[in-house]
Amino acid sequence: MTGTLLMSLVSCLIAISQASLINRCDLARVLHKEDLDGFEGYSLNDWLCLALVESKFNISKVNENADGSFDYGIFQIDSHSWCNDYQSHSENICHEDCQDLLRPSLLSTISCAKKIVSGAGGMKN
Ligand SMILES: *[C@@H]1O[C@H](CO)[C@@H](O)[C@H](O)[C@H]1NC(C)=O
């Protein structure tokens, strides 16, 4: 009995630790619901492709860059320009705490990504 409880507790914890991955269809649903206003001129597929190449759909991905800044979240948004991680100077153009870009709701990271993509360089940014 105790063993069974322990097993289900362990599998719950494993499920939680893997919750950083969002499946492609769920992400499509969230992006659609957030109505990206024409997706800033890109298609829903372009946005899904961006999430795939940047993070393989890992909402909590953090990666250090050569210049010491970090990339955050499913779209790998750079702390050098876009969000504040309190480690180095950031322009913080999105007015976001970088940690907020890792939230499962994706609200902050989507609105920041929209801001980035709406710039002259589009998705190349
Ligand atoms: C997602 O990214 C985090 C932080 O970079 C990493 O620790 C975690 O293992 C990744 N998850 C998967 C399932 O790859």
In the chain, domain spans: 21-124
Residues forming beta bridges with residue 22, ordered by sequence position:
none
With a pLDDT cut of 70, the percent of the chain lying above it is: 82
Pocket residue to mutate for ligand 1, from 14, 17, 18, 20, most atoms within 8 A of Cβ: 20
Q: Which pLDDT tens digit goes with each residue over 50-80?
A: 999 999 999 999 999 999 999 999 999 999 9
Architecture of the 21-124 domain? Orthogonal Bundle (1.10)
> What is the per-residue DSSP string for the chain?
-HHHHHHHHHHHHHHHHTTTB--HHHHHHHHHHTT-TGGGGS-HHHHHHHHHHHHTTBTT-EEE-TTS-EEETTTTEETTTT-B-SSS----TT--BGGGGG-TT-HHHHHHHHHHHTSTTGGG-
With a Cβ cut-off of 6 Å, ligand 1 is lined by 18, 20-21, 58, 60-62
Nearest atom in ligand 1 to 62's CA: 5
Residue whose CA lies nearest to ligand 1 atom number 3: 61
